[in-house]
Every structure is written in structure tokens, then in C-alpha cells.
């Protein structure tokens, strides 16, 4: 799991390795992240996830070995 920008600073992590017991939906994994890292909580509703470098919705199924990136609202330009 990759973190960037404000979530990288708030969690103090750039990456987090998570081994899944079984394939799970993105939303479930994000909820679990928030439970363990409450600093993410205020951003939960504005999070977008990317799996293997493509945006996905929260029902998307993640398998072991997939790369999940947690994307807060983007502000390039």
C-alpha cells in the first residue's frame, strides 16, 4: 500500500505491506487502514484508490500481490 503527500506525512509511511488472507474489496481495506491509522479518518470520504496504477472504485477486488495506492484529492498544476 502506497501513501503520498499528506497521508505520507500523517502516517509517517511511504509504503505498508499487507498480506491478505483472501481477496478483498478496496473499500474494506481502506476501512481497515483507517481503523489502524486514525489520522487517515478525516480523509476517508475523499479517498480514491488506485490498484496497479489505475483508478478503481471501492468495490474493486484486491488480490495479494496487487499494488494499492491511496490517493487523496489531487492538486497538480
Please report, as ranges, the residues that interact with another protein according to CB under 8 A. Answer: 2, 4-6, 8, 46, 48, 50-51, 53-57, 59-60, 69, 71-77
Q: Considering the complex, what minimum distance in angstroms separates the CB of residue 8 from another protein? A: 8
Instruction: Identify which of residues 2 and 37 has a Cβ nearer to another protein in the complex.
Output: 2
Q: Considering the complex, what minimum distance in angstroms separates the CB of residue 20 from another protein? A: 18
At 72, is the secondary structure helix, strand, or coil? coil
CA-only gyration radius of the chain, Å: 12
Amino acid at each position: 500500500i502506497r501513501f503520498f503527500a499528506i497521508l505520507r506525512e500523517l502516517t509517517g509511511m511511504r509504503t505498508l505491506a499487507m498480506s491478505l488472507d483472501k481477496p478483498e474489496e478496496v473499500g474494506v481495506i481502506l476501512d481497515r487502514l483507517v481503523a489502524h491509522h486514525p489520522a487517515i479518518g478525516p480523509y476517508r470520504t475523499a479517498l480514491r484508490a488506485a490498484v496497479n496504477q489505475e483508478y478503481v472504485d471501492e468495490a474493486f477486488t484486491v488480490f495479494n500481490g496487487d499494488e494499492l495506492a491511496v490517493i487523496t484529492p489531487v492538486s497538480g498544476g
